[in-house]
Amino acid sequence: MPELPEVETIARGLAPQVEGRTVTAVHILNDSTVEGRRELLEHRVTGCVISRVHRRGKVLLMDIAPASASATDKPVVAPQPSSQPTHVAFHLKMTGRLFVYPQGTPPAVHTRIIFDLSDGSRVFFDDARKFGYCRALAAQDFTEWNFWQKLGPEPLEIGEDAFVQLLRGRRTRIKAALLDQTVIAGIGNIYADESLFRARIRPDAACDSIPEAKLRALHGVMQAVLQLAIRECGSSIRDYRDAHGDAGAFQNNFLVYGKAGEKCTVCGRKLSTAKVAGRTTVFCGKCQK
CB contact burial 11-38 (16+ within 10 A = b; e otherwise): bbbbbebbeebbbbebeeeeeebbbbbe
Catalytic residue of the set 130, 200, 270, 279: 279
Q: Is 2 a catalytic residue?
A: yes
Catalytic residue of the set 2, 5, 155, 203: 2
The one-letter amino acid at 41: L
The one-letter amino acid at 226: L
**Torsion sign across C-alpha atoms 153, 155, 158, 160:** positive
Catalytic residue of the set 44, 58, 122, 135: 58
Q: Is 56 a catalytic residue?
A: no
Contact by Cβ (8 Å): 56, 88: no
Strand (E) or helix (H) holding 11 = helix 4-18
- Give the span between the Cα atoms of 121 and 47, in whole angstroms: 15
Catalytic residue of the set 3, 6, 8, 194: 3
DSSP 33: G
Q: Is 3 a catalytic residue?
A: yes
Task: Sort 289 into a burial class: Cβ within 10 Å, 0-12 / 13-18 / 19+.
Answer: exposed
Q: Is 12 a catalytic residue?
A: no
- Give the span between the Cα atoms of 90 and 62, in whole angstroms: 8
- Give the span between the Cα atoms of 174 and 196, in whole angstroms: 9
Active site residues: 2-3, 58, 279
